[in-house]
Structures are given as structure tokens and as C-alpha cells.
Structure 1
């Protein structure tokens, strides 16, 4: 319906015949978020630029076949555990849990068949002034070897003229671990612009980051100060300004692929600001999570095509993933990902867009 703040249609079909739905949420001035039920994916995010134009600013695919064929986490909801767990192993209640390993020696982003590969249920839609969609998924006890039946509830909502809010909750019937995030790849010049993000200006509100080993597991040490390192984004500077420096941590991550320690203590606050020099788009990311993974698209290698049929290459986009720190189940000195019956896991992230003014 013309002028509607929310529309719903079918985006594709799974091999077993189940429909993959798409919900479109609309803000002001052409701002638009498109969500599909497979993987609870943010399939497109349309944002205005400084000249009055509009572009999709997240990588992905124009048709569902692309998401089904390749698991690249474009826009996906990641779980049960975002990021890595060393050797896919942790102890819980005195018992050792062994997860499938799917990233070298480690478990990554929920294992072999994570939440990004599941068909979520559209539980609620809100067609009001702040349009929203709520999706749910119930992960059974033992899925990917994770203990406990985990019930997840996720809501995308337009909360401002050009602002998208994401809230997630999870409950369990026995002690488990949980760590969820959205894995969107952002290019504020446009998903099909062909312009690398290395000249985007980035600010990260963190004084410390987690140093990693060559398999991207945090080293057995406290968080390192960003001061005097290529990881210092406390003041705005281009992503690529120091990315090629002779630094062991940059070698280990093949660029930036590190968690910044935010110290939120559960309160929503500004974590990062990203600005594109040509389009003038600015994205502020607010979150209540204790960490922010900054990933400069190092492993995008041109082997697949995305929107517009364009090959996706290194640094064509970057991720800003709010979540609990990697390998936290094995690190009592890290924020805890443990969830017990009766408790509620909560995650709140806001993507706020604006444009640079002359």
C-alpha cells in the first residue's frame, strides 16, 4: 500500500518449500530497513546522502538464492555464540562442552549451522508510527552441542526518522551461554559503489582492545591500551590510515579483526561513529554490549558476487559487531556470557544515520 510504513511479502523459498518472508520498515525521507526471516537478516538498509540521494549501505544479495548458496553472514543474526570460542570447548557446571569447530581450531558464530541459517518465525508486526517486526527462534537443547533450550526474541524497529533499533532477548531452561549480534557489512558510500571503506573515518569509544593470537583468540593477558598503536580510534581518522603498518596484531588479523572493550555496564551509549567522505553519510552505533568487534573486511576475496552482481573484495565493507568478548566462556576475567534459568539475556543496539552538513 502506497505510503505504508510497513510492508510484508515473500523474498524466496527454502528447498523444503517454506517461504522466506521480507518485512520492509520505513522511516522518513526514504530511510528503509528490509529484514528477511531466514537468519533474521538485515537484507538492505537504505539511507539518505548529503546530496539528497539514497543508497543501500549494507552488503548482501538481491535474491534469496545468494544467501542460501554462501554462508558469509551478510546482515545475519549470529548465535548462539558470536565470535570465537577456543578449540570449541568450555566448562559449564563442572562438565566440558565440546562444540563443532568451524574456523581453524575454533568454533565461530554458532558453529556449523548457526542462527544465521535458521528460518525465524515472524511473531509480531507493528504498523504504527514506529514500525517494527519481531522474530523468534527456539534453539533446542543440544543444537550444535550447546546446552539448554534457548528461546530468542528479536525486534527491529524504526525509532527515529533515520534510526534503526535492534533489541534481542533470550531465555533458557538450563544453564548455558549466549552471545548474539548482528553481522552487517557496512559501506556508507553504497553497497554497490565499488569504493573501499579504508577512507571512511572511524571513531571508537574505547581505550582498550583485545590482542589476539594468529587464530583470532584473545591472548592470555589483560586488554591492551590503544594508545600509541594502530588501534587508537579515540579520535576520528580513516580506517586505512595505519592498517598497513608493521604491527604483529595487524598481521594476526590481516587488518582489523579485534574486539574493543567498551565498558558499558549494560547501558546504551555511543560505541562508534563511521563517516563516508563522498556521500557525507554518518552512522552512529550505540549499544549496551561490553565489546565491539571492528572487522575491516579482510577475508572478502572476490570469490562471490553480491548486490548488482558485483564481486565482493577485500575492504569493500566493514563490520561493527556489538557483543560479549570472544572466548569469554573460558575467561573468568572477561564479561560473562552465562545464562541461567529465570535470567534474561538482553542486547540493545541502535544504528543512527545523519549526513555531514557544510
Structure 2
């Protein structure tokens, strides 16, 4: 008799209590090959990702914490679902249909990543599902009209799927009863050598993009769309981050204290026919390849982590301990930086998918 196919297992356990007394859960997904992903329903946070290196040694390749209380206090957005709006909104203001909206401010003269109690600080409803080739965590949260200043009630769903092929697939859904704006992303900090292994200068990165968006001294896009050719921001061919990350002759590197810009993905990447971005740690052999249907990608090299946070296993995270690759809809080649890129209307629900493929280079 043919044995049943190996499945991705799911285990649920307590992840501790939040300050309001409610309890968070931690879900562990494990593939037959041993890859393991831990996700909590607080903030939709990816707590850990264990993958094999070229010697078959497992290591945790994302920054994070051991307790949900640490995530409640976290200011770096480690591993979280980001929204309603990923990124900065100058003065926390935007105009929509002739009305000026004032958002909650949680950064100097701006709103950052959705506000003080954004999606990353909410306890989401969670359920699980298993199929032959994947297992899933389905998270849902209803954001009321006016939350953090945004108009419209929005029902969010985020589905995390781990497949038997060691792919982590993230699906985003949103519906509203009133025209509003959203810009969702996943904010995991990756270090493919291991979360406790130092900086990511020796990671080799490529981004499928011919253009990027320069930013001003206040770290907002200037509105210019610039070719990556002959700039430090050319990742059309894989290169080590160390090559340019301290290039203070480059204004953008100086402003961001490293890499922290939008890249406008090429059409073949947006169609998901080719990857959007890839990172490789040659010492371990681990490779992360990202496919997304979103038009832009931020590469952020953890420039503001300062050693004040202790993560998993009491590791003191230092500057550039990881890199983030954040697919977003806020910018594209047709309209650049434009609020119309981010509209969510009652007539047109939002859907997006990003795939994270873990293998060996």
C-alpha cells in the first residue's frame, strides 16, 4: 500500500500575554525536509525561519524575540505585517476626494508604517488549514473606520502558506466600505548566515529593477525616477552589499546610513515570470529568492538598529544585522509616488502575493 504523502505539520502553543491581559499564540509549520517557520497572531509576525545550509545544518535566518511582550515593545517592526500604510507619510496628511485626512503621528512630523497601533500591534484572529502540499495560517483583522486616522472600515486577511518545497507564500487581502489607502508589506529582517551571526555585508544581493527613487534629506522620495546605471543602487547583477554600503560619496547612502530606497521592479518581475530580488550568503550556501506581483521593492539594511535590543537567545542586535526586502505598491514607473497607486475602494478589493523561496546557491 502506498504511504500517504508527507505533509507540512502545524503545532500551536501559547506565546505569552500582552499588556492588556490577552494571550497570543505561536504557530509552528515544519516541512518534511526540516524547514520550520514560526508565526504569531500578534502583528502577523514571522518569529523564526529555520533553513538548512550546505552542510545540512539548520539555522534561524530572521531577527526576532522569544516572547510576545518583547514584540509589543519593539520599535523595529521585526517580522511584522505592515499597514495600513507601509512607509512614511509626511506630516501624517493626505488628501482624498477633496478631504484632508490627519493621521496619528508616531515619528518626527510623520506617520510611519501605519501609526502608533497599526497592524503590527494588533492581535489577529487565526485559524489553520492543511492540504497535501502545504499548510497554512490564516490571519484576519477588521480595522475600524478612523483607526490611526485612516478613513473606512477595512477587513484584512493575511495567509501564510509553507509548502513541501520549502516555499513560504504570503497572500494579502483587503476589503473596505469606503475609499481609503493601503500599502501592505512584510517586514522580516533576514540574515542568511543566522540571526546571531553579525552583519550582512557579505550577503550578495540582486534586484530586478532598472530604476530607483532617490529620497530627500527627510527620507521622502523626491519625485525623481532615476536609472540605477552607474550608481551604488545598481543591483541588476548580484553584488556584495559591502561594495557600496559605506559609500558616503553617494548622497542616498549618506542620507539612509546605508541602503533604504524604493526600487521600481521590471515588468518581468511584476508578472512573476522572474524573481524580484535575491540574496545569497555564500559561506552557508543559503539563498533567498523573492517573487512578487507588487511594483516596487525596498531594500533596507537595518541601518537604525543600534544594539539597544536583545533578541532571541539574548542576542544583542547591532547595526546592519540583517536586510529587509519589502514588496510594496506605493510607487510605480507610470505615476511614481502617487496616492492613486494605493487606493482601496468598495468596488475593487485588494489582493497581492509574495513568494519566498529558500534553497542553496
Say whether the fold is shared (TM-score over 0.5): yes
Paired residue for 1:233?
A: 235
Does residue 78 (structure 1) correspond to residue 82 (structure 2)? The answer is yes
CA distance in 2 between counterparts of 1:98 and 1:266 reads: 32
Supply the RMSD in Å over aligned alpha carbons. 2.1
Structure 2 residue matching 1:65: 3-state secondary structure = helix
Q: Which runs of 4+ in 1 moved over 6 A?
A: none
Paired residue for 1:312?
A: 317
Paired residue for 2:200?
A: 197
Does residue 135 (structure 1) correspond to residue 128 (structure 2)? The answer is no
Does residue 164 (structure 1) correspond to residue 168 (structure 2)? The answer is yes
Correspondence list, 1:293-332, <5 A: 293-325=298-330
Q: 1:237 to 1:335 in 2, by over 3 A?
A: farther
Structure 2 residue matching 1:251: 3-state secondary structure = helix
> Which of 230, 254, 259 pairs up with 2:257?
254
Unaligned 5+ residue runs, structure 1? none
Paired residue for 1:275?
A: 280
Q: 1:353 to 1:331 in 2, by over 3 A?
A: closer
TM-score (norm 2): 0.93
Structure 2 residue matching 1:186: 3-state secondary structure = coil
Render the CA deviation track for 1:103-124: whole Å, top value 9, x for unaligned: 2222110011110000000144
Paired residue for 2:63?
A: 59
Residue 325 of structure 1: CA displacement?
2.6
Render the CA deviation track for 1:43-78: whole Å, top value 9, x for unaligned: 111111011100110000122222122232110001
Structure 1 residue matching 2:309: 3-state secondary structure = strand
Structure 2 residue matching 1:336: 3-state secondary structure = helix
Paired residue for 1:244?
A: 246
Paired residue for 2:94?
A: 90
TM-score (norm 1): 0.93
Unaligned 5+ residue runs, structure 2? 1-5
Q: 1:200 to 1:341 in 2, by over 3 A?
A: same
CA distance in 2 between counterparts of 1:230 and 1:334 reads: 28
CA distance in 2 between counterparts of 1:280 and 1:177 reads: 40
Does residue 109 (structure 1) correspond to residue 113 (structure 2)? The answer is yes
Structure 2 residue matching 1:250: 3-state secondary structure = helix
Q: Indicate the larger mover: 100-109 or 148-157.
A: 100-109
Tell me if the contact between 2:11 and 2:29 (Cα under 8 Å) persists in the aligned partners: yes
Q: Indicate the larger mover: 264-273 or 101-110.
A: 264-273
CA distance in 2 between counterparts of 1:231 and 1:114 reads: 30
Residue 23 of structure 1: CA displacement?
1.1
Q: 1:129 to 1:220 in 2, by over 3 A?
A: closer
CA distance in 1 between counterparts of 2:236 and 2:176 reads: 37
